Each structure stands twice: as structure tokens, then as C-alpha cells.
């Protein structure tokens, strides 16, 4: 492959994606270029739109980091979706009972509940893997279905205000919105949980590079047999990786429940976990890559919502798929044996 074609590939990919988008818009009966401009204005062109993109990117970056933690160990955590949902319920339920506590207690306790529940839920899959050899892809998919069934059950039997949502969390357990910084962001869902999205991938990266256990997790992912032969506790490292992956997934709930809605309702986090897997794969194992991927996907989703009135939101889903394919193919290195 020559230098020219190597550098031309991302450009070609971007051009193809844009063309596809315009075709979809045209098919929906709208003026192609205008729709794109409207969509971009609505997502990146206004302070409110930017706030919405930040809100979405916050969840996506954390969910992507959760995926990467497991992926490093050679584990494919498909259960992030369910882990986030259970964590969101936990944040809502615990957050609503913290009226007595000041914010410096209430926020960490509600967030900790979310993290703990999600970590425990993921650890179950990890235990099944190391104890019985049950593959985590299968078990986490099944756990997602289980979570789907458990959530309405829990809300209907004691944990919910109604059958579909929890009570509102205490004011002290809420994470302040970014709109306190600027009135331009008024009404936007972005909160200070965005700091979690900045810090989490970076902390995980440090842990994987510097800490003994973190490095062993990565080495186990590269060569489990050699690690076992060298005395690395492979089972324990796999368990740690999947549990931590779940814990990070649980953090995602903070932005949604404590930073935005103020309660948990059914379906509130739907899709975040799965989009997070895509973000985790697009991010290519670096914190900056993860943030860039989260912003890209977040902007795409927001653009879809802006255009929803005229162009079906599904058009942006198609676009999302196309972007993933484009990034995956342009980033492919020349295969050498």
C-alpha cells in the first residue's frame, strides 16, 4: 500500500459515509445538504446541542471504558447493557433514601450503590467463567435478559414509586448540571458527571500500565497459558477484570440518574451499553481515542434526534453502523505474517 492511498483512505471513508447520509436523507424526502447542516447546527452548533452531545458522550465514554477493561483481559463483556440498567435502579433507589445526608455523603453513596450492584452482577459472569468455564458472552447475554425481567419486577414490588419508575432521588444526591456554569446550557442534560468520563478512562489506562494487577490483567489477555505457567493467578485476574468492567459500567448510571433525570425509569438507559461496546472498540485502547469515539457517537445520536422530525432517527442508526464499518476498515493494518 502506498503512502498516498494510506492517507487517502480515511478521507474516502468519510466521503462515502457523507454520501450515504445524503442518500438516506434524500430517500426520506428532504434536501440532502440542508438536513446535514441543520443536524450539525442542532448538535454541535448551539450550546444546548453541545450540552446534549456531552451528556450522551459521558455515558458512552464510561461504558466504552467498561468494555475495554474486560477486553484487555481477552473477555468480551456483552452484559454492560444490563449492568448499567441494574446500576441505574440501584442509584435511584438508594439516592431516594438519602434525604438526611449532605451531598458529600449522598452522591458517593448513591454512586457507590450503582457501582457495587453492577460489579456484583458482572462478577457473577466472571465466577461462572473461572469456576465452570461458562463463556462470558453467553452468560452476560443471558444476564441482560434476566435484568430486563428483574427491573419491572423490582419496581412493581417495593422499589418503585409506580411500576415503571423510582421515587426522585434526594436533592443532596443529585450531581449538579453544567448549566450552573453558563445559562446557555440551560435545559441541557449535561452534568458534572462529565468529569467521570474524563477521569475514568485515564485512571484505567494508568492502572493497566502501572499497577501489578492491572498489568497482569493485560498479560493474561495476551497469553493466558504462558501466564498460568509463570505463576500468574489467571482465574483471579479474569474475575477482577470482569468485576471492574461491571463496576465501571455502574458509573455510567451516575450521569443518567444522579446527573439528569433524578430518578430511574424503565428503558432509560436502553442502548447505552451496546453503543458503549462500539465506542470501546472504536477507541482502540487509548483514553483519548475513547473520548473521541464517544464524542463522535454522541454527536451522531444527537444529530439523529435533531433531524427526527423530518428524517427518521433510524437513518442515523444506519449512519452509525456505516461509521463503525468505515473506521474499522480504514484502521486495518496491512496483514503481515
Partner 1 sequence: MRIEARGLTKRYGDVVALDDVSAQLTEGRITALLGENGAGKSTLLRLLAGLSAPTSGELVLDGVARARVSPAEARRLGIGVVHQHFSLVPSFDGLKNLMLGDEPVGPLGVLRPGALLARAERVMRDVGLEVDLGLPAEALSVGERQRLEILRVLVRGATTLLFDEPTATQTRAEAARLYAVMRRLADDGATVAVVTHHLDEVSAHADEVVVLRRGARVFAGEARGLTTDELARLALGAAPPPVSRPPPPVDAPVVLALDALGAGRLVDVSLEVRRGEIVGVAGVDGNGQDELVELIAGLAAPARGRLSLDGAPLDGLDVAARRSRGLGVVHGDRHALGIVAGASVHDNLVLGELGGDEAARARQRLVASGASPARLDVPISALSGGNQQKVVLARALGRPLRALVVAHPTRGVDAAAAAALRARLAEVALAGCAVLLVSADLAELRALSHRLVVLCRGRVTAALPPDVDEAELGRAMLGGAAA
CB of 9 to partner 1, least distance (A): 20
How far is residue 106's CA from residue 13's CA, in Å, rounded to a whole number?
A: 47
How many positions of this chain bind partner 1 (CB under 8 A)? Answer: 17
If the CB atoms of residues 156 and 226 are measured against partner 1, the closer one turns out to be: 226
Among 225, 309, 332, 333, binds partner 1 (CB under 8 A): 225
Q: Check binding of 226 to partner 1 (CB under 8 A).
A: yes
C-alpha of 213 from chain center? 24
- 336 — phi, psi (to 5°)? -120, 140
Taking the C-alpha atoms of residue 167 and residue 264, their distance in angstroms, rounded to an integer, is: 8
Residue owning grid cell 483481559:
73
Q: For residue 161, give the DSSP letter.
A: S
Among 229, 288, 325, 328, binds partner 1 (CB under 8 A): 229
The minimum distance between CB 219 and partner 1, in angstroms, equals 5
Q: Which of 7, 157, 183, 212 binds partner 1 (CB under 8 A)?
A: 212
Among 200, 216, 242, 253, binds partner 1 (CB under 8 A): 216
Asked if residue 130 binds partner 1 (CB under 8 A), the reply is no
Residue 285 within binding range of partner 1, rule CB under 8 A: no
The stretch among 80-88, 174-182, 213-221, 305-313 that binds partner 1 (CB under 8 A) is 213-221
Q: Is 336 in the site for partner 1 (CB under 8 A)?
A: yes
Q: Which stretch binds partner 1 (CB under 8 A): 11-19, 147-155, 210-218, 260-268?
A: 210-218
By the 10 Å C-beta count (0-12 exposed, 13-18 middle, 19+ buried), 171 is classed as exposed
Dihedral (C-alpha) 122, 124, 125, 129: value to the nearest 10 degrees? Answer: 140
Q: Which residue has the cell 440498567?
A: 85
Closest CB 115 distance from partner 1, rounded Å: 26
Angle subtended at Cα 71 by Cα 273 and Cα 330, rounded to the nearest 5 degrees: 85
CB-nearer residue toward partner 1: 183 or 210: 210
Query: Quick one: 137 or 232, whose CB is closer to partner 1?
Result: 232
CA–CA distances in Å: residue 235 to residues 20, 131, 138, 243 = 46, 8, 18, 12
In the complex, the smallest distance separating the C-beta of residue 304 from partner 1, rounded to whole angstroms, is 38
Please select the residue that binds partner 1; options are 215, 305, 313, 320, rule is CB under 8 A.
215
CB of 216 to partner 1, least distance (A): 6
Element housing 34 (H / E): helix 32-40
223 is an interface residue for partner 1 by CB under 8 A: yes
For residues 15 and 222, which CB has a smaller minimum distance to partner 1 in the complex? Answer: 222
Q: Which residues contact 149 (CB under 8 A, 6 or more apart)?
A: none
What are the residues whose beta carbons fall under 8 Å from the beta carbon of 250, sequence distance 6 or more?
83, 84, 87, 90, 114, 115, 116, 117, 118, 119
Cβ pair 80, 277 in contact under 8 A: yes
Of 135-143, 160-168, 222-230, 249-257, which part binds partner 1 (CB under 8 A)? 222-230
What is the C-alpha separation between 136 and 142, in angstroms, rounded?
10
Q: Which is nearer to partner 1, 216 or 265 (CB)?
A: 216
- Nearest CB to partner 1, comparing residues 142 and 232: 232
Contacts to partner 1 from residues 232-251, by CB under 8 A: 232-233
Residue 82 beta carbon to partner 1: minimum distance, rounded to whole angstroms: 30
What residues pair up with 265 in beta bridges, in sequence order?
A: 165
Residues within the interface to partner 1 (CB under 8 A): 212, 215-216, 219, 222-223, 225-233, 336-337
Amino acid at each position: 500500500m502506498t503512502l498516498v492511498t494510506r492517507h487517502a483512505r480515511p478521507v474516502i471513508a468519510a466521503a462515502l459515509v457523507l454520501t450515504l447520509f445524503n442518500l438516506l436523507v434524500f430517500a426520506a424526502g428532504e434536501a440532502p445538504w440542508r438536513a446535514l447542516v441543520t443536524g450539525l447546527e442542532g448538535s454541535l452548533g448551539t450550546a444546548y446541542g453541545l450540552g446534549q452531545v456531552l451528556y450522551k458522550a459521558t455515558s458512552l465514554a464510561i461504558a466504552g471504558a467498561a468494555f475495554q477493561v474486560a477486553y484487555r483481559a481477552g473477555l468480551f463483556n456483552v452484559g454492560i447493557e444490563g449492568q448499567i440498567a441494574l446500576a441505574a435502579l440501584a442509584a435511584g433507589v438508594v439516592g431516594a433514601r438519602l434525604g438526611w445526608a449532605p451531598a458529600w455523603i449522598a452522591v458517593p453513596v448513591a454512586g457507590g450503590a450503582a457501582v457495587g450492584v453492577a460489579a456484583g452482577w458482572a462478577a457473577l459472569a466472571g465466577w461462572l467463567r473461572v469456576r465452570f468455564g461458562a463463556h462470558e458472552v453467553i452468560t452476560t447475554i443471558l444476564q441482560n435478559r434476566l435484568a430486563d425481567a428483574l427491573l419491572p419486577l423490582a419496581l412493581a414490588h417495593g422499589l418503585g414509586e409506580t411500576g415503571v419508575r423510582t421515587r426522585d432521588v434526594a436533592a443532596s444526591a443529585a450531581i449538579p448540571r453544567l448549566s450552573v456554569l453558563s445559562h446557555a446550557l440551560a435545559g441541557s442534560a449535561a452534568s458534572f458527571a462529565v468529569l467521570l468520563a474524563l477521569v475514568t478512562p485515564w485512571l484505567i489506562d494508568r492502572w493497566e500500565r502501572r499497577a501489578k494487577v492491572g498489568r497482569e490483567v493485560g498479560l493474561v489477555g495476551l497469553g493466558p497459558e504462558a501466564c498460568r505457567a509463570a505463576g500468574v493467578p489467571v482465574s483471579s485476574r479474569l474475575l477482577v477484570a470482569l468485576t471492574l468492567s461491571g463496576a465501571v459500567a455502574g458509573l455510567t448510571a451516575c450521569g443518567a440518574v444522579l446527573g439528569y433525570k433524578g430518578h430511574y425509569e424503565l428503558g432509560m438507559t436502553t442502548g447505552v451499553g451496546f453503543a458503549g461496546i462500539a465506542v470501546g472498540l472504536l477507541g482502540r485502547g487509548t483514553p483519548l481515542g475513547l473520548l473521541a469515539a464517544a464524542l463522535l457517537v454522541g454527536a451522531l445520536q444527537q444529530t439523529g434526534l435533531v433531524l427526527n422530525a423530518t428524517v427518521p432517527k433510524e437513518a442515523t442508526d444506519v449512519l452509525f453502523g456505516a461509521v463503525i464499518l468505515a473506521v474499522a476498515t480504514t484502521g486495518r493494518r496491512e496483514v503481515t505474517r
